Structure 1
Amino acid sequence: MSMTSTSTIAYQDLVLVGGGHAHAQVIKMWGMRSLPGVRLTLISPQVQTPYSGMLPGLVAGHYQFDDAHIDLMRLCQFAGVRFIQASVSRLDLDNRELWLDDTDRPATGFDLLSINSGITPELSLAGVAEYATPVKPISAFYPRWQRCLAQLRSASTPCAITVVGGGAAGIELILAMHHTISQQQGIGVAVDLHLVYRGNDILSSYPPRIREQVKAQLHSHGIHIHGNCEVSKLSSRHIHFSSGAAPLLSEHIFWCTQASAADWPGQSGLATDCKGFISLLDTLQSTSHDFVFAAGDIAQQVNYPRPAAGVFAVRQGPVLFENLQRKLLAKPLKQHRPQQDFLSILALGRRDAIAHRRFLPTLRGGWVWRWKNRIDQQFMAMFSELSMPASALANQAVAPAISGIDTPSPLSSLAMRCGGCGAKVGATSLSKVIRQLQPIHRDDVVWGLDSPDDAAALRISDTTASGQSQLLLQSVDHFRAFIDEPYLLGQIAAQHALSDLFAMNATPQSAMAIASLPYASDNITERDLLQLMSGAIKVLNDNNCSLTGGHTSEGNELSIGFAVNGLAPEHAILNKATLQAGQVLILTKALGTGTLFAAHGQLQAKGQWLETAIAAMLQSNRRAGELFHAHGATACTDITGFGLAGHLVEMLKPSGLLARLQLSAIPALAGALHCLSSGFSSSLQDQNQRISRAIANTEQWQAHPLYPLLFDPQTSGGLLASVPSENATSCLSALRDGGYHVATIIGDIHYKPKELGLIELTD
Structure 2
Amino acid sequence: MQRQIPLTRDIVLVGGGHAHALVLRMWGMKPLPGVRLTLVDPRPVAPYTGMLPGHVAGHYTADEIGIDLVRLCRFAGARLIIGAADGLDPVNRVLSVGSRRIGYDLLSLDIGITGDLPQVPGFDRHGTPVKPFVRFAAGWEDFVAKGQGPAVVIGNGLGGVELALSMARRLGPGRVSVVGGERVAHVGAALNRVLLRQLRALGVVLVPGRVVGVEGGAVHLADGRILPSAFTVGAAGATPQPWLEDTGLPLSDGFIRTGADLQVEGHPGHFAAGDCAHLVASPRPKAGVFAVRAAKVLFHNLRAAAMDKPLRNFRPQRHFLRLVSLGDRTALAEKWPALPLAPAGRLIWRWKDRIDRRFMSRLTDLPPMVAPDSGEIATGVQEILGQAPLCAGCGSKVGPGVLHQVLLGMDRPARADVISGPGDDAGVLEIGGRRQVLTTDHLRACTEDPGLMARIAAQHALGDVRAMGADPQSALVQVILPRASDAIQARMMEEIMQAAGDVFHAAGAVILGGHSTMGAELTIGFTVTGLCDAPITLGGARPGDVLILTGRIGSGVELAGEMQGKARGADVVQLWQRMAEGPGDVAALRGARAMTDVTGFGLAGHLMAICRASGTGARLDLAQIPLHPGALELSEQGVRSTLYPANRDHAPVFSREDARTALLHDPQTAGGFLAAVAPDQAEAVLADLRAAGVEANRIGEITEGPVGITVGTSPT
**Common fold by TM > 0.5:** yes
- The 8 Å contact of residues 585 and 722 in structure 1, kept in 2 or not, is answered as yes
- Which of 655, 662, 668 is the equivalent residue of 1:708? 662
Question: Pairwise mapping of residues 110-125 of structure 1 onto structure 2 (< 5 A)?
Answer: 110-124=104-118, 125=120
Q: Indicate conservation of the 8 Å contact 2:178/2:204, yes or no.
A: no
Runs of 5+ consecutive residues of structure 2 not aligned to the other structure: none
Within a 5 Å distance, the mapping from 1:495-506 to structure 2 comes to: 495-506=459-470
Q: Do the aligned residues in 2 keep the contact of 1:165 with 1:195 (CA within 8 Å)?
A: no
Q: Tell me how far 1:738 sits from its aligned partner.
A: 2.5
1:307 to 268, 285, 306: 285
1:126 maps to which residue? Answer: 121
1:250 paired to 2:214: no
Distance of 1:112 and 1:401 partners within structure 2: 44
- The answer to whether the Cα contact below 8 Å between 2:183 and 2:206 also exists between their aligned partners in 1 is no
Name the structure 2 match of 1:92.
Answer: 89
Residue 241 of structure 1 corresponds to which residue in structure 2? 221
Deviation per CA, 1:428-477: give whole Å up to 9, x if none: 0001111111121112222212xx32111112223xxxxxxx21111111
- Does 1:78 pair with 2:49? no
**Match of 1:210?**
191
Secondary structure of the 2:264 match is coil
Partner of 1:434: 407
Q: 2:529 aligns with which of 535, 541, 565?
A: 565
CA distance in 2: counterparts of 1:264 and 1:396, whole angstroms: 53
**Match in the other structure for 1:181:** 171
- Deviation, 1:180, is 2.6
Match of 2:494 in 1: 530
Q: Does 1:159 align with 2:149?
A: yes
SS in structure 2 opposite 1:67? coil
| SS at structure 2 position matched to 1:725 | coil
Aligned AA (2:14): V
Q: What amino acid sits opposite 2:620 in the alignment?
A: L
Matched residue, 1:761: 711
Is 1:584 paired with 2:546?
Answer: yes
Q: Provide the C-alpha distance between the structure 1 equivalents of 2:524 and 2:254, rounded to a whole number of angstroms.
A: 42
Structure 2 residue 284 is matched with structure 1 residue 334: no
CA contact (8 A) 1:662 1:761 kept: yes
**Which blocks of at least 5 consecutive residues in structure 1 are unaligned?**
153-157, 183-190, 463-469
- What is the CA–CA distance in structure 1 between the aligned matches of 2:643 and 2:564, rounded to whole Å? 16
Contact 1:122–1:258, Cα closer than 8 Å, also in 2: no
**Superposed displacement of residue 7, structure 1:** 5.8
From 699, 721, 730, give the equivalent of 2:675. 721
CA distance in 1, matches of 2:684, 2:670: 25
Match of 2:537 in 1: 575
Of 513, 537, 540, the match for 2:504: 540
Residues 1:317 and 1:232: Cα distance change in structure 2 (over 3 Å): same
1:671 equivalent to 2:630? Answer yes
1:465 aligned residue: none
Q: Does 1:458 align with 2:429?
A: yes
In the TM superposition, what are the counterparts of 1:622-633 in structure 2 within 5 Å?
622-624=584-586, 626-629=587-590, 632-633=591-592
Aligned equivalent of 1:61: 58
Asked if 1:604 corresponds to 2:604, the answer is no
Q: Specify the code of the residue in structure 1 equivalent to 2:549.
A: L
Q: In 2, are the aligned partners of 1:502 and 1:622 still within 8 Å (CA)?
A: no
Q: Separation in 2 of the partners of 1:244 and 1:261?
A: 30
Preserved CA contact (<8 Å) 2:13 2:109: yes
- CA distance, structure 1, for counterparts of residue 585 and residue 376 of structure 2: 42
- CA distance in 2 between partners of 1:419 and 1:597 (Å): 7
Note if 1:514 corresponds to 2:514. Answer: no
Residue 35 of structure 1 contacts residue 325 of structure 1 at CA under 8 Å; is this kept in 2?
yes
* Aligned partner letter, 2:663: L
What is the SS of the residue equivalent to 2:681? Answer: helix
In structure 1, what residue type is equivalent to 2:662? Answer: P
Contact 1:502 1:621 in 2 (8 A): no
Q: 1: CA distance between counterparts of 2:678 and 2:261? A: 69
Deviation at 1:259, TM superposition (A): 2.8
- Indicate the SS of the match to 1:335: coil
Distance 1:676 1:266, change over 3 A: same
Aligned match of 1:361 in 321, 341, 345?
A: 341
Q: Normalising to structure 2: TM-score of the pair?
A: 0.95
Q: Which residue of 2 aligns with 1:659?
A: 618
The Cα offsets for residues 493-541 of structure 1, whole Å up to 9 and x where unpaired, read as 1111111111222111100011110011111111111111211111011
Q: Distance in 1 between matches of 2:150 and 2:245?
A: 39
**What corresponds to 1:747 in structure 2?**
700
Alpha carbons of 1:692 and 1:744: their partners in 2 closer, same or farther (altered >3 Å)?
same
Which residue does 2:178 correspond to in 1? 196
Question: 2: distance between equivalents of 1:111 and 1:603?
Answer: 29
Q: Which residue of 2 aligns with 1:492?
A: 456
SS of 1:557's partner is: coil
1:386 partner letter: L
Checking the alignment, whether the CA contact within 8 Å between 1:283 and 1:333 is kept in structure 2 is yes
* CA spacing shift, 1:582–1:114, aligned 2, 3 Å: same
Offset at 1:68? Answer: 0.6
Aligned partner (choices 577, 590, 596) of residue 615 of structure 1: 577
Match of 1:146 among 127, 131, 141: 141
Report if the CA contact (8 A) 2:584-2:693 is conserved: no
TM-score by length of 1: 0.90
Match for residue 186 of structure 1? none
Quick one: which amino acid aligns to residue 407 of structure 2?
I
Q: Does 1:271 align with 2:221?
A: no
The residue type equivalent to 2:228 in the other structure is: L
C-alpha change, 1:397 and 1:688, in structure 2 (3 Å) is farther
Paired amino acid for 1:280 = T
Aligned to 1:187: none
Q: Judge conservation of contact 2:219–2:228 (CA < 8 Å) in 1.
A: yes
Amino acid at match of 2:138: P
SS at match of 1:66: coil
Q: For the structure 1 residues 201 and 312, does the alpha-carbon distance in structure 2 shift closer, same or farther, using more than 3 Å as the test?
A: farther
Q: Distance in 2 between matches of 1:381 and 1:738?
A: 45
Are the equivalent residues in 2 in contact too, given 1:472–1:566 (CA < 8 A)?
yes
Deviation at 1:411, TM superposition (A): 5.0
What's the counterpart of residue 466 of structure 1?
none
The 1:210–1:518 alpha-carbon spacing in structure 2 relative to 1, beyond 3 Å, is: same
1:223 partnered with 2:198: no
User: What SS does structure 2 have at the residue aligned with 1:278?
Assistant: strand
- Show CA shifts across 1:684-740 (max 9, x none): 1110011343x3x33xx213x211100000000011112233433343333233233
SS where residue 88 of structure 1 aligns?
A: coil
Q: Work out whether 1:34 is the aligned partner of 2:14.
A: no
Identity of aligned residues (%): 38
Separation of aligned partners in 2, 1:368 and 1:411: 47
What secondary structure does 1:16 align onto? strand
Q: Does 1:318 align with 2:312?
A: no
1:727/1:24 Cα in 2 relative to 1: closer, same or farther (>3 Å)?
same
Retained in 2: the 8 A contact 1:96–1:110? yes
8 Å contact kept, 1:159–1:192: no
Larger mean Cα displacement after TM superposition, 439-448 or 200-209: 200-209
For 1:604, give the aligned amino acid: K
Tell me how far 1:329 sits from its aligned partner: 2.5
Give the superposed CA RMSD. 2.0
2:715 aligned with 1:733: no
Whether the 8 Å contact between 1:503 and 1:574 is mirrored in structure 2 is yes
User: After superposition, what is the alpha-carbon deviation per residue over 1:317-339, rounded to whole angstroms, capped at 9, x for unaligned?
Assistant: 11111122222223222121212
SS at match of 1:8: coil
Partner deviation per Cα, 1:523-576 (whole Å, 9 max, x = no partner): 111111111121111101111210001000011111010010111112xx3222
